[in-house]
Amino acid sequence: MFRFHPLLFGLITACGIVELGLTAYERKQQHDFPIGGNDVTSRLDYLLFLSVWTTVTGGAYLVLGKTSTFGIIASFASHAIWLFWTFVMWLIGAAIYQRQLIEVGCGENSRRCHINHTVEGFSWIEMSLTFITFLIVVLHRTGPYDA
């Protein structure tokens, strides 16, 4: 696991930074030129929170998780709990945002819709990365990859 730790958590953190920028931009646009009312705004706020959560905590795991001097932060249980919890939050966030875009009828014609679909896409990417990393952590700890 620790061989892949910087790569996996680096990807999670980098995608979180991209999602943070896109979501913050779209949240500002939603404030100035609303589409879909408060429902889209509340979902963007949730995705913005998740982006900050993933960027800060993923960055902390990237920096501190590699060293064993931080005890609980470096433990497999801590990694597994954080990854599972983050996976569930991203799954919920991506699903409710996708549902909201369908209800609003955001097609492929406008720049705003392209940005919204990009926000949705990065949400699914974050969810996938956290799930794959979670599986690697669990399989490494319990499977034949323990070396």
- Spatial separation of the C-alpha atoms in residues 65 and 68, rounded to whole Å: 7
- Spatial separation of the C-alpha atoms in residues 141 and 147, rounded to whole Å: 9
Residues 6+ apart with CB under 8 A from 113: 101, 106, 107
Tally of domains in the chain: 1
Q: With respect to residue 147, please indicate whether it lies within any of the assigned structural domains.
A: no
Q: With respect to residue 38, please indicate whether it lies within any of the assigned structural domains.
A: yes
**Boundaries of domain holding 132:** 5-142
CB atoms within 10 A of CB 145: 10
pLDDT tens digits, 54-79: 999 998 888 876 665 556 556 778 88
pLDDT tens digits, 83-127: 999 999 999 999 999 888 888 777 666 788 888 889 999 999 999
The pLDDT of residue 67: 64
Q: With respect to residue 81, please indicate whether it lies within any of the assigned structural domains.
A: yes
- Which region among 8-17, 110-119, 135-144 has the lowest average model confidence (pLDDT)? 135-144
| pLDDT tier, 146 (very low <50, low <70, confident <90, very high otherwise) | very low
Q: For CA atoms 125, 88, 59, 75, give the dihedral sign.
A: negative
Burial environment of residue 87 by CB neighbours within 10 A (0 to 12, 13 to 18, 19 or more):
buried
Q: With respect to residue 110, please indicate whether it lies within any of the assigned structural domains.
A: yes
Q: With respect to residue 66, please indicate whether it lies within any of the assigned structural domains.
A: yes
pTM: 0.85
Q: With respect to residue 97, please indicate whether it lies within any of the assigned structural domains.
A: yes
Q: With respect to residue 45, please indicate whether it lies within any of the assigned structural domains.
A: yes
Task: Give residue 116's identity as a one-letter amino acid code.
Answer: N
